[in-house]
Structure formats: C-alpha cells, structure tokens
Amino acid sequence: MPITDGHELVAPIPYAENGPPHDLWSRLRAESPVHFCDPEEYERFWAITKHADITEISTQPERFLSEPGINILRKRDREALEASAFGAMRVIITMDPPEHRQVRKVASPVFTPKAIRALDEEIERSARELVDGLAGADGEGECDFATDVAAAHPLRILSHMLGVPREQEPDILRLTNQLFAFEDPELGRDAENREQALMELGMELYGMFDAIIQDRRANPSDDLASVLANATIDGEPMGPMETVGYYLITFSAGHDTTKNALAGGMKAFLDNPDEFQKLRDNPDLIDQAVEEVGRWTSPVNYMKRTAAADTEVRGQKISEGDSLVLFYASANRDDEVFDDPFRFRIDRESNRHLGFGIGEHFCLGANMARRSMRALWLELAARTESVEQIGEAKRIHSAFVVGLKHLPVRYRIRPSEG
C-alpha cells in the first residue's frame, strides 16, 4: 500500500474538516519526500515535502515551469478553466523567464520596502480604526475575528492601492472569495454549473477592473492602479488581458493570503496565550512574531511546477511534463530546518520559512503583507486586555489558499483615547 494516493493533499474537504495534513506530511518527509500521487478525481502529481527540495525546484525556473499552471485541478475542471476568462488572462504567477522578469518589473517598484513604508500611515490607520471599532465605547464585545477584522484589514489596504472605491469593497471581497473558495458551499458562487460559474465570475471581475483601468488612463496618479493601467513593456502598452490580470493577481494574491495569516495568527495566539503575553510585554518581538505567524499558518499551501525535461529530484526520476507540487506548509515544519517545528514561538531566532515562497516567484507583496500584519498585531497587543475563543473555528474548503473562515471571539479592548 502506498502511503497516500494524494487525495487528502489536494482535495478541499479534508482541509475543511481536519486542517492541513501535518501527520501525513511528516511521514512523507521521513519516508517518501518525493512521492508520486495519482488520485482518482485529480490530476496526478509528485508531492514535494522537504524544505531543501522546494528551494532547489523554486530557484530553477527554467527547469521547473509555472506557465502550465500552479494548481492541481479535478480532471473534469481543467477544460472549464481553459475555456473561461481566466484561461485567457495572463498573470505573472504563471509566466516563466524571460517574460516573467519583464512583467514583474512593471509593479516591483510599488512593492519595495521603501515604497510600502510610504503606505504605513494608511496601514496603521486601518489597524487603529478596526480595533477602535471592536472596542466601541465600553471596550467589551464579541466578533468573528476572521470576517470582521482579518478580512477587513487587507481589503482596505488593497482597495486603497488599487483604486477600488470604498463602496465597491464588498463586491471585490465577494468575487475574490468566490475565486479562491470556489468549492466552499458558503463562499463559492451559485450557478447552473461550474463552467457557468467560472465564466460569470471572470466576466464580473474583468468588468470591475476594466472600469478602474479606463479611469486611471484618463486621470493618472502615482498609485499602483495608475502604474498598472499605464504600463508599457518594450515600449508597447501592456495588453488588456495582462493589465486586468495584474489587478486580479494583486488583489486576489494579496487579500485571502493576508486574511488567512491574520485569522490563523489570532488562533495561534488564542491557543498559546503565553506567546501573546510575550508580545504584549515586548513589542520589539513584532518582526519575529510576524515571521512566525507566516511559518505557522502558511496560507499558500502549495504551488505547482511542471518539469521542462526529464530530470531527477532527490534521486527520483521525473519525466518531462510531470507536475511537482511544492507543499510550503510541510517545508515549514521540516525539522532539518526548524528546531521544535510544531511549536508556535514568536521569538524564534532563525526562521527561514517558505510561507512567501522562494526564488523566481518570491511573493511580490511580502513587504506589504508583513507591514499589514505588523500594524494589526501591534495595535491589538497594545490594547487587548483579554481575548478568548467562544465558538468553533471553521476552515475554508480549499487545499490551495488555506485557513479559517470563522473565528468567534470575546474580548476586552482598551477604547480609543482620541
């Protein structure tokens, strides 16, 4: 009997019911770190579970391609995806060098640490307003931390960067939820069938971003929305699919991921109250805490690569065209790299986690995600007097961008002084 046929590694329901399969990954890392999977319903793949192998693959983009796709799909969904508006959209995350580098350069100046610091005021305001809202006048209350805080914070920041008007924030949230939690009965889209749902979703997203693009072409400023709307590559304006794709990837890659890191981070603090106390006593630990939350939650569970030619990984023969699935969440518990990997410790000294990936496609928004988390944890650590979980934490039906969709809490928070 093989250790696994891979179903529970890529199917959404086991993640919703049991969370990420850490026991299975530990076994795979020890016994079969490059493991062939051929689940009945899903495309076949090699499961890559060791930190060193994921690093080796991610840093050789000519040998291991992103262009053929970054997800493992149900066999029957592949055609629907290719026929939909998403199939036609070109985004950096599914490009390979040399094109990838050219297109990444368009937006990278907006995401440097210096450029993101210029947004700090906006990021800190969002954190302060959200915590003020929780505290209200008397400082006591209950909320769903996942929807009310973790989703709201990145939504505000990204909307500000991308020029989405405040009144359209709920629409963009609904659409990106539908995209990432396509299988989730609560968050997914209602439609006659899956093909129809994908088609409609693509058209709706396209319409929303195209309106912003037209506006920024007519009235350019120096925000990300304008940079993308007016970008040129080799002196030629970026095509409409590339431009809309860039909006979509920025929004969708930035929103759910940060949200899941924040909600999962809060759950880690609730389960490890000593670690929250450590942060309250010593806010200088904040940057280490942010990295530990990234390692612990690993909101991007995996990315796929495709072998460009016959090759080997850790002595295992891989054929041209084979899919390799890089399980970052597994690498982030690899005891060859992390001491005591199953402990959440905000003062971890060395933390080479792969939560933001590594190499060619290293997360473009990592600085922004870090500053967003930093601001919210600092505000909460400074003002929270008590916080406890008061109901079941519910996980999203997704094996790709993973995390909590509900986290009910009761708290006492110092109200705003201003």
Query: How many residues of this chain interact with ligand HEM, rule: CB under 6 A?
Result: 27
In this structure, what is the dihedral angle of CA atoms 51, 53, 58, 63, given to the nearest 10 degrees? 180
Q: For residue 104, which amino acid is it?
A: R
- Report if residue 92 touches ligand HEM, rule: CB under 6 A: yes
> Binding of ligand HEM at residue 355 (CB under 6 A)?
yes
**CA torsion 190→193→195→196, rounded to 10°?**
-60
Which C-beta is closer to ligand HEM: that of 12 or that of 294?
A: 294
Residue 176 or 194: the one with the smaller Cβ distance to ligand HEM is 176
Among 57, 164, 201, 300, binds ligand HEM (CB under 6 A): 300
Q: Which residue has the tokens 């929303």?
A: 208
What residues contact 335, with CB distance under 8 A and at least 6 apart? 341
CB of 355 to ligand HEM, least distance (A): 5
CB atoms within 10 A of CB 174: 14
In whole angstroms, what is the distance from residue 249 CA to residue 364 CA?
Answer: 10
Residues 20-79 that bind ligand HEM (CB under 6 A): 58, 66, 70
Which C-beta is closer to ligand HEM: that of 58 or that of 413? 58
Listed in sequence order, the DSSP H helices in 298-364 are 328-331
Nearest residue to ligand HEM, scored by beta-carbon proximity: 365
| Least distance from ligand HEM to the Cβ atom of residue 241, Å | 16
d(CA 238, CA 231): 6
Q: Which is nearer to ligand HEM, 187 or 249 (CB)?
A: 249
Burial class (CB in 10 A: 0-12, 13-18, 19+), 89: buried
Note whether 253 binds ligand HEM by CB under 6 A. yes
- Measured over the CA atoms of residue 10, residue 328, residue 409 and residue 119, the dihedral's sign is negative
Cross-strand pairs, 140: 412
Among 4, 177, 243, 257, binds ligand HEM (CB under 6 A): 257
Judged by CB under 6 A, the stretch of 27-35, 248-256, 308-316, 333-341 that binds ligand HEM is: 248-256
Give kind and range of the element (H or E) at residue 303. strand 302-307
Q: Which residues contact 41 (CB under 8 A, 6 or more apart)?
A: 7, 11, 74, 75
Does residue number 329 form part of the binding site for ligand HEM (CB under 6 A)? no
Task: Enter the tokens of residue 57.
Answer: 């693959």
CB of 193 to ligand HEM, least distance (A): 29
From candidates 198, 263, 289, 363, binder to ligand HEM by CB under 6 A: 363
132-140, 279-287, 309-317, 365-373 -> range binding ligand HEM (CB under 6 A): 365-373
Cβ closest to ligand HEM, residue 135 vs residue 206: 206
The residues that touch ligand HEM, with contacts defined as CB under 6 A, are: 58, 66, 70, 92-93, 104, 249-250, 253-254, 257-258, 261, 294, 299-300, 303, 328, 355-357, 361, 363-365, 368-369
